[in-house]
Structure 1
Amino acid sequence: MSFNAKQTSSSIASLASAVLLDSKSSALAKELAGSALSQASTTKQTSARMEELASKILGESGHSQMVLSLAGSVLSQANKER
Structure 2
Amino acid sequence: MPKNPKQSSAKMAKLASETLRTPKASATAKSLAASALAQSSTGKETSAAMEAKAGQVLQSNKYSADTKALAASLVSQSNKARGEWS
User: What is the TM-score when the length of structure 1 is the normalising length?
Assistant: 0.93
Using the TM superposition, give the Cα deviation of residue 62 of structure 1 relative to its aligned residue in structure 2, in angstroms. Answer: 2.3
Q: Which ranges in structure 1 are unaligned for 5 or more consecutive residues?
A: none
Aligned length: 82
| RMSD after superposition | 1.2
Partner of 1:34: 34
Runs (4 or more) in structure 1 with deviation over 2 Å come to: none
Using the TM superposition, give the Cα deviation of residue 24 of structure 1 relative to its aligned residue in structure 2, in angstroms. Answer: 1.2
Once the two structures are superposed, the pairs formed by residues 40-79 of structure 1 within 5 Å of their partners are: 40-79=40-79
Partner of 2:18: 18
Q: Percent identity?
A: 49
Using the TM superposition, give the Cα deviation of residue 6 of structure 1 relative to its aligned residue in structure 2, in angstroms. Answer: 0.7
Using the TM superposition, give the Cα deviation of residue 21 of structure 1 relative to its aligned residue in structure 2, in angstroms. Answer: 0.9
Aligned equivalents of 1:2, 1:34: Cα separation in 2: 23
2:80 is paired with a residue whose SS is coil
2:74 is paired with a residue whose SS is helix
Q: Which ranges in structure 2 are unaligned for 5 or more consecutive residues?
A: none
Which protein is bigger by CA-based radius of gyration?
2
2:31 is paired with a residue whose SS is helix
Aligned equivalents of 1:2, 1:18: Cα separation in 2: 31
Using the TM superposition, give the Cα deviation of residue 50 of structure 1 relative to its aligned residue in structure 2, in angstroms. Answer: 0.2
User: What is the TM-score when the length of structure 2 is the normalising length?
Assistant: 0.89
List per-residue Cα deviations over 1:25-57 (Å, max 9, x = no partner): 111110000000000011111000000010111
